[in-house]
């Protein structure tokens, strides 16, 4: 898997959305696992998540946790593949529900 770039001639659709981490504890192990489980259901679509100047594979729990995304962090999520719109829609729901945390 390679991150999307302008030099790659891809037939896949690339869509991006920015989400704000709203849950009190930030993106700790449980929310990270929820993102990985969701993204892994979309085998034909890659998920890249960027915070500040760092971009990681959204299907890697360790990489997600290393982002250290606290409450209020903005995460740019880029889906590359045929199911990107569905993936980003489900991801939006996770963020809106604050990963089912109070």
Neighbour count for residue 39 (Cβ, 10 Å): 24
User: Among residues 63, 53, 57, 52, which one has the least CA distance to residue 29?
Assistant: 63
| pLDDT for 9 | 43
Q: Which of 28, 38, 63, 73 is catalytic?
A: 28
Question: Which CATH number does 26-100 carry?
Answer: 3.30.1340.10
Once rounded to an integer, what is the mean pLDDT over residues 2-31? 81
Supply 4's token pair. Answer: 């999307």
Residue 14 burial class via C-beta count within 10 angstroms: exposed 0-12, middle 13-18, buried 19 and up: middle
Active site residue 89: no
**pLDDT tens-digit map of 69-78:** 999 999 999 9
Predicted TM-score of the model (pTM): 0.87
For residues 17-23, average pLDDT: 97
Confidence of residue 5 (pLDDT cuts 50, 70, 90): low
Domain layout of the chain by residue ranges: 26-100
Give the CA distances from residue 72 to residues 9, 11, 12, 21, 41, in Å, rounded to whole numbers and listed in that order. Answer: 35, 34, 31, 5, 27
């Amino acid at each position: 898997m390679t991150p999307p770039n302008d030099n790659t001639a891809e037939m896949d659709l690339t869509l991006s959305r920015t989400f704000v981490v709203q849950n009190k504890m930030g993106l700790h192990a449980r929310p990270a696992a929820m993102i990985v489980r969701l993204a892994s259901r979309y085998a034909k679509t890659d998920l890249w998540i960027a915070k500040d100047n760092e971009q990681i594979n959204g299907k890697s729990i360790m990489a997600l946790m290393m982002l250290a995304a606290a409450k209020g962090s903005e995460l740019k999520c880029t889906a590359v593949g045929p199911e990107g719109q569905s993936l980003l829609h489900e991801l939006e729901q996770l963020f809106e529900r604050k990963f089912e945390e109070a």
